[in-house]
Amino acid sequence: MQSPPGYDSDPRTVKRLQKSLYGLKQAGCKWYDTLMHMLTKLGFFIIYTDPGAFYACMGKNILILAVHVNDCILTGNSSKLIMHYKRKLNNCHALTDLGLVHWLLDVQIIRNHAVRTIFLSQRSFINTILSCFSMADIKPYGSLMIPGAIYMKKESPSSPEEAACMQCTLYHQAIGSLMYLAIATCPDIAFTVSMVSRFLNDPGDTHWEVVKCIFRYLKSTRDLQLTYGSE
């Protein structure tokens, strides 16, 4: 580690870091601890099933705060309370209020206030990964896999040449992208993605064909949206 400009550069000296900086292994943990203590002082509690989500109850009102690194979404059943806590948070750390959320982590959020409905879409993300894996021109397909098909470990590469060929398919990256879709807005692909995930250690060409089939299915269904509403 080199000394900052203006400091002693004697290699025999030891520097003690007083404050966490970006890029350090401990930086993420330090930021979370700082955020957690600040929110706890403001009356928030951690949702223990998801450490990135916090809630606060004030009488009949509830606030929910979702955090991803330094991006936050604050929601609740009282707009006045939301504005009040925005000011409180801003007093602790300078915030940039972007207003109503429209995009979050590649998820498009669309509201229809007339019918009290929220739509979640990842059409843009699907288009991005199709291009990333050179599948933008594949033909759409209405099924995720061949009905009744069973995929096994014996279909993994049986020679070093086959294994080397599979390394060019970006199998792991594709599964990671599909997992995110399955968790966020495409639960219909969850079973098939979990099945092909079993072969991450040694995927074969047959397993890759299933992955391509999932991409073809996504291309045919990319305009569908996950819908939340009240009847």
12-32 per-position pLDDT tens digit:
777 777 776 677 778 888 888
Same domain, 91 and 132: no
Tell me the C-alpha distance between 138 and 218, whole Å: 11
Domain contains 13: no
Q: Are 177 and 169 in contact (CB under 8 A)?
A: no
Measured CA distances, 31 to 19, 24, 41, 93, 98 (Å):
11, 11, 16, 12, 22
Same domain, 136 and 217: yes
Q: Provide the residue type at 2 as one letter.
A: Q
Average pLDDT of the chain?
86
Identify the CA nearest to 163 among candidates 111, 120, 204, 197: 204
Domain contains 4: no
- How many other β-carbons are positioned within 10 Å of the β-carbon of residue 116? 11
What pLDDT, in 10s, does the model give residues 39-68?
999 999 999 888 999 999 988 899 999 998
pTM value? 0.76
pLDDT value for 128: 93
Same domain, 82 and 179: no
Minimum mean pLDDT range among 34-43, 78-87, 180-189, 222-231 = 222-231
Same domain, 128 and 198: yes
Same domain, 88 and 139: no
Tell me the C-alpha distance between 217 and 215, whole Å: 5
Within a 13 Å sphere around the CA of 195, how many CA atoms are in the beta-carbon half? Answer: 17
Same domain, 129 and 61: no
Domain contains 62: yes
What residues make up the domain containing 92? 27-99
**Local confidence band at 231 (pLDDT 50, 70, 90 cut-offs):** low
pLDDT value for 216: 93
Same domain, 129 and 193: yes
Domain contains 110: no
Per the structure, how many domains does the chain have? 2
Domain contains 175: yes
Same domain, 145 and 82: no
